[in-house]
Each structure stands twice: as C-alpha cells, then as structure tokens.
Amino acid sequence: MNKPRETDLYDPVKAYLEGQGYEVKGEVGAVDVMAVRGDEPPLVVELKLGFTLALVHQAIERLKISDLVYVAVPRGKTRAQYKALLANRKLCRMLGVGFMTVRLDTGLVEIHQDPGPYAPRKSKIRKTQLLSEFERRVGDPNKGGTTRRTIVTAYRQDATRVAEFLSQNGASKGAIVAKDTGVARATRIMADDHYGWFERAEKGIYQLTDKGVAALGEVELDDAVLKAEN
C-alpha cells in the first residue's frame, strides 16, 4: 500500500464542497483548497496528514483571508486517535476554525466543527473548587510544572497534620485530633483513609498504620529536598 500524501485528501474534499454548491480549485496562492459560492466569502481548507502545530499556524494565517477556514486531516481508527480528534475539535472551536476529517479508504468527509466565534462557558463550580483549594492550602508546597513528586493538596496537608499528631500521641479520638490539629474534618479523613495511613483501633479511636509512618518519613525527606532546592 502506497504511503498517503496530502494530495489524497484533495479529491474527497473537493467533491464534498462541490456537493455543497461551491466551485473548488487547488493551490490558489498559498492556499491548499479554495472554494467560492456566489457572493459569499471564500472558503479555505488547509490539508495535512496529521494535526500539527504547523497546521494550526497555517489556519490562523488564513483567517486573514476569510472567516471560513477549515483544516482537514485523515480520520484515524484507533481509540487514541478518536480522543485526539475530540481534543483537536475543541482547539479548532476555540480558534474559530473549522475541522474536517477524510476517510482515505472510502473518501468520506466528516465535518466536526464549523468556523465561528468562540465564547467559552465559565464553570462556577470548577472556579469555586480551585479557589477553595487555594485558600485551604498552607504555604506553597509545590513547584509549578511538578510531575515526579506527589502534588501536595490541602487535603493531603490536613491528613499529614493528623498523621503527625497520631505519631506523637498514639491512638486518639477523632474529636481530640480535630481540636489539637485545627483540622475540622480529622475524623472523616481518618475514617475515609484515602492514603492507607490510618486504621481504627476501637470505636471512635484511630491510630497510624505502618504506611502512615513511612509516609511521614517521605514528607520529611521532600521538605528537606525543597529547602535545598530553594
């Protein structure tokens, strides 16, 4: 089977646009595909064998010519390629660029996004969650861009304070832990035990597990590393 070429996209795209009443011509100036229908603004399509940054740059440049700009790439068949398609469609929507794919085996053209202005919808819930996390987090324990270390969230900070208390005081009642640490949700944190650090010694009383002891050691090591880096 011959390796696909960008020109393999042209005939299916041309046939599709002609079916919409356009007159279509290829390689008009720097434009891969240009289509005209009556007195409407010209429609421009940029062809690529993959969705790349170069394709995005080309599409943005073509917006200087017309508001009707599409990018066209082959349609993949794998799950990963479908996920990429959804992400690329979202990007095109944000840029105001149209997005189409071509099935090279059948010539089927699918329009996933038409060009148009983009007005993102704000998520009050997500904003509230982020602000809440920001306010509850003590200090700035994470460097931006961190990938290898465990991200220290406000919840993890609370769990660490609870673990430190149990390490120093032994098995304790949740109410006592909450009062002495200032972590109001101490009992819930120990009961839920998301990290495997806590276990119930008896009703209403919790103690530290071996994993919890090890985790406190890792926290001390991470703190030492951060101090050295700073």
Domain with CATH 1.10.10.10 in the chain: 141-217
Burial class, 224, CB count within 10 angstroms (exposed 0-12 / middle 13-18 / buried 19+): exposed
CATH 3.30.365.10 fits 7-113, yes or no: no
CA dist., res. 93 & res. 119, Å (int): 9
pLDDT tens-digit series, residues 181-213? 999 999 999 999 999 999 999 998 999 999 999
Q: Scanning the structure block, which residue is given the tokens 């806590």?
A: 198
| Planar angle of CA 185, 189, 193, nearest 5 degrees | 175
- The yes-or-no verdict on residue 2 having pLDDT over 80 is no
pLDDT tens-digit readout, 46-57? 999 999 999 999
Computed over every residue of the chain, the mean pLDDT equals 87
* pLDDT value of position 116: 87
Percentage above 90 pLDDT, the chain: 67
CATH code 3.40.1350.10 region(s) in the chain: 7-113
The DSSP 8-state label assigned to residue 118 in this structure reads -
Task: Find the range with the poorest average confidence among 111-115, 122-126, 143-147, 171-175.
Answer: 143-147
> Do the Cβ atoms of 190 and 198 come closer than 8 Å?
yes
Mean pLDDT to the nearest integer, 9-14: 94
Considering the domain 141-217, what is its CATH architecture? Orthogonal Bundle (1.10)
Task: Note the pLDDT tens digit of each residue in 84-140.
Answer: 999 999 999 999 999 999 999 999 999 999 998 766 677 788 888 888 778 877 777
